[in-house]
């Protein structure tokens, strides 16, 4: 009995990685092009933006919130960063501007969520429209072309490793450390698990909400720079729907939509699963509209599975408590 329980816990803990390996094997069998080095390199480049967005969503979901504006904020940050670079030819200044724009947008989100108790869904949905509107107004709806050396941050290589992959690897270590070795990380899990209990124990929930949205803004700004550089143009209409990509990666990676549960490596695995799925669907010629249907279905199934799992755990706890009382 004890061995079966240990096996069950082991499978539950590592199930996402098992799914990732199975997905990789299936994809390699479905298309001979999947394992080609240029295709795998392309997947790695494309996933960099998605992983950064997924980290932001994971941080917010773990604490009980979310962000539906990240695609638009990414576009606005990237466009303004590109514009600054074209005027000054300073990569550092362009990146700082993009990061600042991402933080400002998310500070507005944090104010409405933390101070006025506006549901995160509504606050960030409003910011989604505002940020996209500003990006389109600033550019007149036109793309910004001829970025010059700006593309190096999205297309450059250090040896055989793409620059975006190096950036995301560094960010991964930082986010992992924040979650596993800081008071802030512990506070997030506590707030997402039970905010009232967390506040009663002395945790400043509002302060942590602000920090979470600021980090999300930094990640969105950096993702905007990489996205524009990879596409070699400032796209005010770019990254539409990327918030759903980030949410899907985080949820598939084991982040509970009800808060309090989620890991960095699980989110990375979730992003790779979604990336492999999108890539193989393109390789075998699946219609783009069908791809959207499949990705939407994945979100619904993942959330439903999470809710059912939590419901079963709660039932077991209640039954165990009743048994103790009877004894």
Nearest alpha carbon to residue 157 among 165, 168, 145: 165
- How does residue 320 score in pLDDT terms, banded at 50, 70 and 90? very low
**Residue 316 above 70 pLDDT?**
no
Which is higher by pLDDT, 313 or 261? 261
- How does residue 304 score in pLDDT terms, banded at 50, 70 and 90? confident
State in Å, rounded, how far the first CA of the chain is from the last one: 21
What's the pLDDT score for residue 317?
A: 42
What's the pLDDT score for residue 10?
A: 64
Q: How far, in Å, CA of 229 to CA of 155, rounded?
A: 7
What's the pLDDT score for residue 14?
A: 74
Does an H or E element contain 185, and which?
helix 183-193
Instruction: Tally helices (H) and strands (E) across the chain.
Output: 13, 2
Centre a 10 Å sphere on the Cβ of residue 272 and count the other Cβ atoms it contains.
Answer: 23
Unique residue bearing structure tokens 């700006």:
150
Q: Are 72 and 129 in contact (CB under 8 A)?
A: yes
Q: How far, in Å, CA of 260 to CA of 71, rounded?
A: 24
User: Widest CA span of the chain, in angstroms?
Assistant: 76
Q: Are 194 and 258 in contact (CB under 8 A)?
A: no
- How does residue 319 score in pLDDT terms, banded at 50, 70 and 90? very low
**Residue 39 above 60 pLDDT?**
yes
What's the pLDDT score for residue 2?
A: 55
pLDDT tens readout for residues 173-228 = 999 999 999 999 999 999 998 999 999 999 999 999 999 999 999 999 999 999 99
- Residues of the chain above pLDDT 70, percent: 90
pLDDT tens readout for residues 229-286 = 999 999 999 989 899 889 989 988 888 888 888 899 999 999 999 999 999 999 999 8
Give the burial string for 22-51 (b: 16+ CB within 10 Å, else e).
ebbeebeeebeebeeeebeeebbbebbbbb
Q: How far, in Å, CA of 80 to CA of 98, rounded?
A: 6
What's the pLDDT score for residue 9?
A: 64
What's the pLDDT score for residue 111?
A: 97
Q: Are 255 and 262 in contact (CB under 8 A)?
A: yes
Mean pLDDT, rounded, of the chain: 89
């Amino acid at each position: 009995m004890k061995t079966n329980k240990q096996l069950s816990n082991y499978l539950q803990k590592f199930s996402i990685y098992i799914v990732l390996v199975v997905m990789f094997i299936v994809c390699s069998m479905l298309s001979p092009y999947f394992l080609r080095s240029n295709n795998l390199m392309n997947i790695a480049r494309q996933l960099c933006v998605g992983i950064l967005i997924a980290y932001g969503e994971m941080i917010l979901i773990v604490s009980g919130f979310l962000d539906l504006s990240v695609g638009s904020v990414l576009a606005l940050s990237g466009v303004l960063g590109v514009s600054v670079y074209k005027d000054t030819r300073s990569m550092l200044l362009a990146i700082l501007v993009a990061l600042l724009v991402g933080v400002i947008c998310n500070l507005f989100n944090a104010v409405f969520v933390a101070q006025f108790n506006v549901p995160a869904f509504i606050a960030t949905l409003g910011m989604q429209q505002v940020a996209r509107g500003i990006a389109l107004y600033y550019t007149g709806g036109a793309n910004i072309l001829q970025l010059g050396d700006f593309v190096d941050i999205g297309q450059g290589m250090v040896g055989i490793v793409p620059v975006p992959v190096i950036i995301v690897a560094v960010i991964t270590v930082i986010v992992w450390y924040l979650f596993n070795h800081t008071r802030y990380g512990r506070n997030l899990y506590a707030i997402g698990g039970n905010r009232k209990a967390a506040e009663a124990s002395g945790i400043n929930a509002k302060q942590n909400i602000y920090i979470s949205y600021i980090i999300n803004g930094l990640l969105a700004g950096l993702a905007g720079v990489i996205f524009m550089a990879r596409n070699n143009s400032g796209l005010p209409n770019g990254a539409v729907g990327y918030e759903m990509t980030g949410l899907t990666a985080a949820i598939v990676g084991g982040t509970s939509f009800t808060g309090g549960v989620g890991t960095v490596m699980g989110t990375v695995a979730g992003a790779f699963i979604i990336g492999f799925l999108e890539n193989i669907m393109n390789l075998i010629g699946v219609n783009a509209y069908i791809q959207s249907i499949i990705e939407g279905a994945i979100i619904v199934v993942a959330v439903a599975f999470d809710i059912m799992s939590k419901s079963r755990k709660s039932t077991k706890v209640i039954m165990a408590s009743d048994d103790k009382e009877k004894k």
